[in-house]
Amino acid sequence: MAHEIEEALKRHGVRPELCKVGVCTAKEREILEEARELLFSCLARVERDAVEPGDLTKCHGCRRKRECFFVPLKRCGRCKEVTYHSVKCQTKHWKKHKRTCRPPAATPDLAAHEYYMNKAFSDPKARALIDSLRIDAQQNSHGTGLPVHRLVATGQDTPENMRLLFGPRYEQDLGKYHLETRITYLFNAPPGSPSYAVKTSLHDHALVRAPRPATESEKKIMAEVREMQTLIRRTVGAGKIPSPADRQAILDNIYGREYSDKGHIYTLALSNMDQGVPTGGFRRV
């Protein structure tokens, strides 16, 4: 590369003694760096305004713009509000900066619905995902139900996307609802079932339904739900709604008296069976 540059300089008529291209020695590099520091220090003094905390476009020590450096600016490890181009510059600036350097305030641990309503719509990446689900700000009244359904329906209900829209508490707050929604879509609930009516009311026909395949644990739950549906039909007949007494008898039959934690299986089974519920949400009589 150096030889090519020398030849190009000669072709352009540059004097031979000026055409020599080489690598700086350590001493020459040190001299150049000192000259560069001195030059930019002088230029920085021309701009008297201090760099405001939170401005990440400049070195807060020498006040030079980040475009002046060959390496990215690094943030203060404590407050994250100021940046420096070198340890040397940070050390020089510390005497001034330490008066205002404070750890960032802890972010409130928002519930999933609060995070979605108050933060997701203002985050560019989260908003892009919301837009891809064809949800606008006017549909916020649906709370978290609408986005969860559309994420599941389109196969985008990954942990990353759930966290992006609902925050770090999504699993704690929405884990059960998310699982039940997935089971509903994997079952392909029939018309006349409560689940079918809900899915229809929340779906957008411009979206392609492509839910992710069931996991092994979800397959086990689905097998339990199918077993429960079979017993419900045998007990009360197809298309009929079990009474509270029927419910207890059915749960006793399958699980004995240890059914306290299996109520959700019964609910899933019933909500995914034809009960004469039209898509408008009112049961046929």
Task: List pLDDT tens digits, range 11-57.
Answer: 767 777 777 777 777 887 888 788 877 777 766 654 445 688 778 88
- Which of the pair, 196 or 246, is modelled with greater confidence? 196
| pLDDT of the residue at 282 | 40
What CA–CA distance (Å, rounded) separates 167 from 161?
9
Mean pLDDT (the chain) is: 83
Residue 195 near residue 184 (C-beta atoms within 8 A): yes
Predicted confidence (pLDDT) at residue 132 exceeds the cutoff of 60: yes
What CA–CA distance (Å, rounded) separates 20 from 7?
9
What CA–CA distance (Å, rounded) separates 86 from 59?
9
Task: Provide mean pLDDT across the span 176-191.
Answer: 91
Q: What is the pTM of this model?
A: 0.58
Task: Provide mean pLDDT across the span 102-112.
Answer: 74
* Range in 27-41, 54-68, 112-126, 255-269 with the lowest mean pLDDT: 255-269
DSSP 138: G
What CA–CA distance (Å, rounded) separates 84 from 78?
13
SS3 label, residue 65: strand
Task: Provide mean pLDDT across the span 272-280.
Answer: 80
What CA–CA distance (Å, rounded) separates 180 from 221?
10
Residue 181 near residue 149 (C-beta atoms within 8 A): yes
pLDDT, tens digit, for every residue of 247-262? Answer: 887 777 776 665 556 7
Task: Provide mean pLDDT across the span 159-170.
Answer: 94
- What's the residue count for the chain? 285
What CA–CA distance (Å, rounded) separates 109 from 168?
8
Copy the structure tokens of residue 37. Answer: 């520091």
Nearest to 138 by CA among 153, 117, 161, 109: 117
| pLDDT of the residue at 281 | 43
| pLDDT of the residue at 284 | 39
